[in-house]
Amino acid sequence: MKRVWGSFFLAMSEAIVPLERIHSLIVVLRGQRVILDRDLADLYGVTTKRLNEQVKRNRRKFPEDFMLQLTGEEKDKVVANCDHLRNLRFSPVSPYAFTEHGTVQAANVLNSDAACDMSVQVVRAFVALRHMMINHKALSVKLAELDARIGMHDEQIGEIVKTIRQLAAPEGPRHRRKIGFHPGNR
């Protein structure tokens, strides 16, 4: 079966895929970032069938934290969220999903230079995502601190404005005694 590759592949020996492309293939399932077998096979330049054959032959090299099989519900959710997986909806087979370590192990069992070269880029993509998440969490904490500080300042500014309004508000008409002689007033 001949595979048609996207324009992002130059030649299998010098495949260069931008990290953004790999990032777009990484999804979160069961709290882990994973790449589906179909996408990983495309990146490694093999068919999904060949990838899954090698994984099944070397099953003990793929513990549960390296690879997981999607349930029907997870499969439907992934298909609904990822446009490039439309054809997966009608597949009777539940796909496998590989974690960062599983992608490296898959490249090892495929025993091809292209897969080994691409696995380095895939790992770099996972690491870059991890760093982005760490930076995102740090940024979220700082934003929460700023929000709390601004909230405190808002209360203080509100008190200042209230005091200024009280001081600037015109007092009601004062009753002053008129100076001079007024008949009828004693």
Q: What are 145-175's pLDDT values in tens digits?
A: 777 777 777 788 888 888 888 887 777 667 7
Predicted pLDDT of residue 11: 37
Percent of the chain's residues with pLDDT above 90: 0
Numbers of helices and strands, H then E, in the chain: 6, 4
Q: What are 36-79's pLDDT values in tens digits?
A: 888 888 888 888 898 888 888 888 888 888 888 888 888 888 88
Strand partners, 8: none
DSSP letter string, 47-61: -HHHHHHHHHHTGGG
How many angstroms separate the CA atoms of 48 and 16, rounded?
20
pLDDT band at 2 (very low <50, low <70, confident <90, very high): very low
pTM: 0.57
pLDDT band at 16 (very low <50, low <70, confident <90, very high): low
